[in-house]
Amino acid sequence: MVGKPAGAGHDTQEVDVAVRLFVAIDLDEPIRQKIVRFVEGASGFAPDVRWMKPEALHLTLKFIGEFPDARLQELKQTLATVRSEPFDIAFSGTGFFPTPKAARVFWVGVNADVRLQKLASIIDEAAAKLGIEREARALSVRYADDGVGLPADHQMGNGLTNTGNRISQIGGQISFEPNIPTGLKVRIYLPND
């Protein structure tokens, strides 16, 4: 919880306290430990990086931001009504953003079915009823490499075909733009509802 005084000359008894909030899925301990082991191995390559504490690792579903402490109970009650069908989450792939040499973020890839996206949308809708800003944008990912690219007549295998089908089921799009000989561009769009 972060409380910031309103400024000099203000009565601290009347200062609104705000907390910085997000809604997240806590990670199972075996998954958390695998990430911790990876980070321990990678931390030697980035000695100046401040890594998150293991207990703080999570999967964010909704960033709320600053929220008045006085309304925290109302938010808890609203979120307690959110229900979802069970779903599996798999973690695969890791990387650094923007680049490994200038890393600001370490990420772990998440694979889940459409129920995870639906849960995030339900949370977003519930929070909006309390005046919390909805996620205004869908997820849009653009990936480009400068490798050899794909031939124009390349046939997608089952993995890419199934990925495309899953993305289409939730109203999204995926496109592959072969750019021989300068690489490949992949564009992915996922709606926020």
Quickly state the pLDDT bin for 89 (edges 50, 70, 90): confident
What per-residue confidence (pLDDT) applies to 8?
Answer: 39
Mean pLDDT, residues 178-192 taken together: 68
> For residues 157 and 55, which has the higher predicted lDDT (pLDDT)?
55
**pLDDT above 90: percentage of residues in the chain:** 16
| Residue 66 counted as domain residue | no
| Residue 115 counted as domain residue | no
Query: 64: which 2 tokens?
Result: 């709320």
| Residue 193 counted as domain residue | yes
The string of pLDDT tens digits covering residues 58-80 is 888 898 988 898 999 999 999 99
Question: Total structural domains in the chain?
Answer: 1
Range of the domain at 162: 137-193
Mean pLDDT, residues 118-144 taken together: 80
| Residue 154 counted as domain residue | yes
What per-residue confidence (pLDDT) applies to 9?
Answer: 43
50-76 burial, b for 16+ CB within 10 Å, e for fewer? eeeeeeebebebbebeebeeeeeeebe
- Ramachandran sector of residue 171 (left: φ over 0; alpha: ψ -120 to 50; beta: rest): left
